Structure 1
Amino acid sequence: MTTAEPDKLHPAGSDRLDAAVLKVAGVVVLGAVMAILDTTVVNVALQALSLQFSTSFDTIQWVVTGYMLALATVIPVTGWASDRFGTKRLYLLSIVLFLVGSMLAGMAWNIESLIAFRVVQGLGGGMLVPAGMTIMTKAAGPHRVGRVMAVLGVPMLLGPIGGPILGGYLVDAVSWRWIFYINVPLGLVALLTAWRVLPKDEPRPTERLDLLGMLMLSPGLALLIFGVSRIPQEGGFGSVRVLLPALVGLVLMASFVIRATRVANPLVDVKLFADRTFTIAMITMSLFMVAFLGAMLVLPTYFLLVRGESALHAGLLLAPQGLGAMLTMPVAGRLVDRIGARKVVLPGLVLIVAGVAVFTGVGANTSYPLLMAGLFVMGLGMGCTMMPINTAALQTLTQRSVARASTAMNIVQQTAGAIGSAVMSIILASLLAGKFGVPTSQGQVAATVALGNPQSHDAAATLASGAFASTFLWALVLMAVCFVPALFLPKRPPVHADAREAAPVHV
């Protein structure tokens, strides 16, 4: 006789992703595609939006910044809301908010209204990914977390690869409004399928919202990300506009952590970090996001600035990276469930380092086949790293901890991603400024002007490509640092906490 009964969605001994789990995965991926694609598709349209609304680049940046800050503000509440109302209800609400925000943004009549509606979009988008991750992890069960994370990795790839392509096409061939309207049919399909397919889950109404914790963590996270996002515009870390919000954000977040260790039900359960595997995975993920997302920001800029490609062509040139990741991600998902995260992540990091190394020698006329090969190898490595690291973080946790853990993971990823983008941007800007003899904040502008002048183009392209090569070298060094925590990831699949608690008891 045993104390545990098989779960309906993931019966004992079943390692395959059955039809029920695949249906859930399809719904979650559709929602995640909308949220992640929208963060990149708008970047291509900023120049068109600046002309449409006759406003400065600093103002138009708030179309991106407002969305990002709304995302950061709502993520900490997602874990509590998932427990309190149920992940299905929260997921449906997220889609509705994102859908309404998209429709209104497409109808915007001035820059102020567009920024406001992007905030509404961000409130929905911020909950979509962590809530979807919780739904998929619960549906698949601990022994299939790797495979289900590989499925969730699809939108992570489609966002940075498909976003610039789709955004460039819509802005050039249709209208800037369609970068928002495109979400409407996707959102309606996601809403209807989520309503029908997602399993009902029982909310746990006993826990009260940690209101004081929310007032610390949500603004703290938003202020920190806002501060670091100002680094490229301000030309360094020393500006008051960078330091003040970033320091206030850090103080609020540190205060939250100290308080969270002393209260019963904090907004984010910091005791999760007592789990060694979870902590190591989060450290690895933080370093990875700083290095990899920073490099991903610089790559399209090289094609646009130095090689003079259009937004659409720059997006297409990044496609080999996505193809490489699509080849390895499903295999890596299966392997991490069977042999452990370390044996998958370490080879993946080797591949990424090899791919980035190609770009450390980039020039004004480096052959495209060589660059495409480097991107493909980088993609192969990406498929073996990002989602397997997430898998390692969740494999040892109980089902009750998954929602809060997903929230913590997304906070770490958003913060590290923002820091990585800011660090790589300021490194590139300072190197370009040194090449063209201007202040750091004017580095990219000076390079753009020089490259646009036929008389100075060739010399400027040589100087600019040298700055990009040095920036990629910094990205390579940061990526190499990821090997240190990755060495401490699990050697083999750990025994899940729920499995330990529900182990058969023979009498």
Structure 2
Amino acid sequence: MGEKTLPQAGQRGAIPEKQAWKALAALCIGLFVTLLDQSLVAVSLPRIREELGASINQVVWVSAIYLLTFAVPLLITGRLGDRYGQRNIYLIGMAIFTLAAFACSQAPTIEWLILLRAVQGFGGSLINPQPLSIIHRIFAHNRRGAATGVWSAVASSAGLFGPVIGGVLVGTVGWRWVFFVYVPLGLISLVMVARYVPKLPTGTSRIDLLSGLVSLIAVLAVVFSLQQGPELGWTWWVWVVLALGVAALLLFIRMQRNNPRALVPLGLFKYRNFSLGAFAVGMLGFTVYSVNLPIMLYLQVGQGMRAETAGLMLVPMGVISVIMAPVLGRLTDKIAPGLISKIGFSAMIAAMTLFGILMHLQVTPAWLLIAIVLLGLANAMCWSPNSTISMRDLPPELVGAGSGVYNTARQVGAVVGAAALGAVMQMGVDSFSFGAAMGNALLLPVVFLLAGLLAVSRFK
């Protein structure tokens, strides 16, 4: 491609460590804004509905379309980084995301806003797999845990800060600033990535377009049916769409066998820790990206707190996660794989159980701070070691595909979790007190976290 490239990282990194940390900071800005969006925009939906005269279904699609266009292409966008360079794909994705965010802030109608949100989600999908791939190429093997700890802190805390930032912006300067705030952040990330992230060697032949099409159909059908099924009452055609997605997924796996241009090389799953870690991150996605809603509903509806105050209740969770994740990432480089992960999953199970019990007891909000702090610690102990152990032993030619699979597992877990908790909350309010209904919803993830704990217990 005529570019000056750098060698792969062995015990030494591909670039000086000081530059590598600056590159990571630049990449994390983009990662933060793409994941922040999933909880940030939700806070603004009532005001959007009021000002644009939208129906409930239309404002739901403001969030839903972003999640769809973000999650569906992840398998392909991870591979695009291998083919054309992670740095290049990141810059393209950030440019699309930032321009679309600015356009969203100026949207004249709800229809335009939904369309522009689809474009913004696609930009986010181009961005999201690249940081994890780049980390594992520019940092030395024995420094990847610390670097991945920072990445994980950003990834796990973005959703926790969303309600706080969104509540402040909507309450002070209006919903359009929820989108406009991405513009300066996006521009800063573009400049920093262009300056500090190196052009790394590309190592993938042409992408199998037919496999790409089948993967899009599979993920789109599964994500759409799980995301919209509860709202549509699980009509017969939703089940048909889900069955089509599962069939397409099975066909996709069959197409990857002995395919030299495989979109997802099945050799990825020969790496035990990657297979276990990808499953475990799906269980984390199920839990972490869906717990905000029942907690916020309990605080606002059940306890009568203002939205801004309820959002501030979650700040300790995000702050603890951000501070502790890099520290625990460094420990992951030095101790037996899986030990921190096992403690983390156990702590998250304890936190969710405590949430459920306290809400059943209709306690005052101050008591929930115990569970909130415990969940913040658990977040740090789960995300950072899991991504480090899952990815660090993959060979360079599989890192992009591995990042795409890992991120897809997280996002599909998030979609399933949101749908499942939504259904449990809806059924619960018809049969129990409001607090008990929210508590029951937070007990559901315990089952999935137990499966995740079993997986990380088998790390080697």
Distance 2:205 2:458 in 1: 35
Quote the residue 2:393 is aligned against: 396
How far 1:9 sits from its partner (Å)?
A: 8.6
Contact 1:336 1:388 in 2 (8 A): yes
- The alpha-carbon deviation at position 57 of structure 1 amounts to 0.9
Question: Aligned AA for 2:374?
Answer: V
1:99 and 1:187 in contact (8 A); partners too: yes
Partner of 2:40: 41
Please give the alpha-carbon distance, in whole angstroms, between the structure 2 residues aligned to 1:289 and 1:424. 13
**TM-score, length-normalised on structure 1?**
0.85
Amino acid at match of 2:403: S
1:307 is the counterpart of 2:332: no
C-alpha separation in 1, matches of 2:441 and 2:397? 43
Deviation, 1:263, is 1.7
Q: Does 1:419 align with 2:416?
A: yes
Higher alpha-carbon deviation: 347-356 or 382-391: 347-356
User: How big is the shift at 1:418?
Assistant: 0.7
- Correspondence for 2:228 among 217, 230, 236: 230
Matched AA of 1:369: A
Deviation at 1:11, TM superposition (A): 7.3
Measure the CA separation in 1 of the matches of 2:165 and 2:12. 42
CA deviations 1:67-100 (Å, max 9, x no partner) are 1111123212223311221111111101100011
> Structure 1 residue 239 and structure 2 residue 235: aligned?
yes
In the alignment, the residues of structure 1 paired with residue 401 and residue 446 of structure 2 have an alpha-carbon distance, to the nearest angstrom, of: 32
Correspondences of 1:264-279 after superposition (within 5 Å): 264-279=260-275
Q: 353, 356, 361: which one pairs with 1:360?
A: 356
* CA distance in 2: counterparts of 1:200 and 1:47, whole angstroms: 43
The Cα shift of 1:13 comes to: 6.5
Q: What is the match of residue 126 of structure 2?
A: 127
| 1:338 counterpart SS class | coil
- For the residue of structure 1 that corresponds to 2:199, the secondary structure is coil
Correspondence list, 1:31-70, <5 A: 31-70=30-69
| Other structure's SS at 2:73 match | helix
Rounded to whole Å, the distance in 2 between the matches of 1:157 and 1:275 is: 24
Structure 2: which amino acid aligns with 1:178?
Answer: W
The CA distance in 2 between the partners of 1:207 and 1:10, in whole Å, is 21
Contact 2:300 / 2:307 at 8 angstroms: preserved in 1?
yes
Distance in 1 of aligned mates of 2:383 and 2:153: 11
Q: Is the 8 A contact 2:149 2:329 kept in 1?
A: yes
Q: How does 1:174-189 map to 2 (within 5 A)?
A: 174-189=173-188
Aligned to 2:3: none
State the match for 1:500 in structure 2. Answer: none
**Do 2:282 and 2:411's aligned partners in 1 also have CA atoms closer than 8 Å?**
no
Post-superposition offset of 1:128? 1.2
Q: CA deviation at 1:334?
A: 1.1
CA change 1:141–1:250 in 2 (3 A) is farther
1:354 offset after TM fit, Å?
A: 2.1
What is the correspondence of 1:315-394 to structure 2 with a 5 Å cutoff?
A: 315-361=311-357, 362-363=359-360, 365-394=362-391
Query: Does the C-alpha gap of structure 1 residues 11 and 270 become closer, same or farther in structure 2, counting only changes over 3 Å?
Result: closer
Is the 2:150–2:322 contact (alpha carbons within 8 Å) kept by the matching residues of 1? Answer: no
CA contact (8 A) 1:294 1:420 kept: yes
Maintained 8 Å contact 1:225/1:418: yes
| 1:482 counterpart SS class | helix
Tell me how far apart the structure 1 counterparts of residues 282 and 156 of structure 2 sit (CA, whole Å). 18
Residue type at the aligned position of 2:103: L
Report matched runs for 1:32-181 at 5 Å.
32-181=31-180
Query: Per-residue deviation at 1:363?
Result: 4.4
Q: 1:13 to 1:33 in 2, by over 3 A?
A: closer
Cα distance in 2, alignment partners of residues 147 and 379 from structure 1: 18
The amino acid across from 2:185 in the alignment is L
Alpha-carbon distance between aligned partners in 2 of 1:355 and 1:263, rounded to the nearest angstrom? 44
**Residues 422, 473 of structure 1: alpha-carbon distance in 2 compared, 3 angstrom cutoff:** same
Corresponding letter in the other structure for 1:487: S
Letter of the 1:91 counterpart: Y
Query: What one-letter code is carried by the residue in structure 2 that aligns with 1:416?
Result: G
* Aligned partner of residue 202 in structure 1, secondary structure: coil
**Do 2:7 and 2:201's aligned partners in 1 also have CA atoms closer than 8 Å?**
no
**Equivalent residue number for residue 295 of structure 1:** 291
Return the alpha-carbon distance in structure 2 between the equivalents of residues 334 and 51 of structure 1.
Answer: 47
Q: Which residue of 2 aligns with 1:505?
A: none
Matched ranges for 1:400-411 at <5 A: 400-411=397-408
Give the aligned partner of residue 446 of structure 2.
476
Equivalent pair of 1:278/1:392 in contact (CA under 8 Å): yes
Q: 1:331 to 1:366 in 2, by over 3 A?
A: same
Identical aligned residues as a percent: 24
Find the aligned partners of 2:209 and 2:9 in 1 and give their Cα distance.
36
Cα 1:157–1:279 shift into 2, 3 Å: closer
Amino acid at match of 1:387: S
1:352/1:381 contact within 8 Å kept: yes
Q: Distance in 1 between matches of 2:196 and 2:12?
A: 24
1-structure distance, mates of 2:149, 2:143: 10
Q: Distance in 2 between matches of 1:17 and 1:283?
A: 33
> Structure 1 pair 181/364, CA: closer, same or farther in 2 (3 Å)?
farther
- Structure 2 CA distance for partners of 1:487 and 1:157, relative to 1, 3 Å: closer
Give the conservation status (yes or no) of the 8 Å contact 2:68–2:220.
yes
Q: SS of 1:423's equivalent? A: helix
Could you give the per-residue CA deviations for residues 17-54 of structure 1, whole angstroms, max 9, x where no partner exists? 93111111110111111111122111001111111121
